[in-house]
Amino acid sequence: MAYIKAISYYLPERVVTNEELVSEFPEWSVDKVAQKVGVYARHLAAPDETAGDMAEKAARKLFAEYGIDPSEIDFVMLCTQSPDYFLPSTACILQDRLGIPTTAGAFDYNLGCSGCIYGMAMAKGLIAAGIAKNILLLTAETYNKYLHPQDKSNRSIFGDGAAACLISTEGFAEIGEFVLGTDGSGADNLIVKTGASRMKTATGKFVEDEEGHLWHDDYLYMNGSAIFNFTLDAVPAMMTQILTKNNMQKEHVDYYVFHQANKFMLNTIRKVCTLPKDKFYVDLEQVGNTVSSTILIGLKDCISQGTIKADMKVMVAGFGVGLSWGGTILKF
């Protein structure tokens, strides 16, 4: 069996409030931003601060908070879509920077909103196969470096951040059975088109989509309505599958911590799935959507605040870029 043994997270020092954002877009109001996405402030990585830097800080915080010796780690995995380099893997660099033994395995994997869940699934598999016993799962993203300065919608939603989680053969939350899914036909709905091998050179081109948003080849583009519709299709079915795979009924779930996409989407999911408001985590106010780190940040805060306690069963789920989705049950 695999367990979560420790969780910590790191947020960059710079905070951008709605007031600061609105000063750049006078046609907006602070209340309009807050009501639309549920975010009042978000953290932004410094110009010279990378996903690798943030992941290192989250890991060091984890080690200090839980008294973890880096020599105990026998595998490192980093979920990021903003790696420090095309190659080598940032996880390999972190192995050295964190003082983790060279006998440890390490790799990056490129996923976003569902990345934390996929990482838990891979870590559980490594433990089940006897390959590793103490896996450092890191999530780190600097989406704001991909956003066009005039992209007020995505700038209001996304925040930068990193999280660290130790998955081991013992701990405070047993990791249950997984549901994972992929629909690559929707890849263009959340994409940075240029910069990699398919289209290496920046084009400077952009088009206007049906919602009036500009789609820049060289910056992150998100088709909000398409992602919203995908989520409403995928999440209810995924929830049913998670319950079935874990031999549970909906009333057996004590709490839900889903990817913190935006407030409107989360509230719609809750209503469509008829979930009690007091059992459903929504908190983007001070951090925004930190992509692969939202679930770990949410779990850490809920544990620290006493919302999640021993003997509770918590459903966790992520969904978005890829398109991809995944979920499981954590038994505390």
Residue 104 CA to residue 270 CA, distance in Å, equals 40
Residue 139, both tokens: 């999530």
Per annotation, catalytic residue among 79, 113, 116, 165: 113
Residue 291 CA to residue 303 CA, distance in Å, equals 20
Q: Write the CB contacts of 302 (distance below 8 Å, at least 6 apart in sequence).
A: 255, 257, 281, 308
91 near 59, Cβ under 8 Å? Answer: no
Three-class SS state of 216: strand
Query: Burial code of 262-285, b = ≥16 C-beta within 10 A, e = fewer?
Result: bbebbeebbeebebeeeebbbbbe
Amino acid at 58: A
44 near 59, Cβ under 8 Å? Answer: no
Residue 78 CA to residue 83 CA, distance in Å, equals 9
Residue 44 CA to residue 41 CA, distance in Å, equals 10
Per annotation, catalytic residue among 134, 189, 262, 289: 289
Would residue 229 show up in a list of annotated catalytic residues for this protein? no
Residue 16 CA to residue 43 CA, distance in Å, equals 6
Per annotation, catalytic residue among 165, 259, 262, 302: 259
Helix axes 115-128 and 294-305, enclosed angle (nearest 10):
80
Q: What are phi and psi of 130, to 5 degrees?
A: 75, 15
Would residue 259 show up in a list of annotated catalytic residues for this protein? yes
The beta strands (E) that lie in 67-171 are given as: 75-79, 105-109, 134-141, 161-168
77 near 122, Cβ under 8 Å? Answer: yes
Look at residues 161, 170, 184, 329 and name the one whose alpha carbon lies nearest to residue 243: 329
Q: Which residues are marked as active site?
A: 113, 259, 289
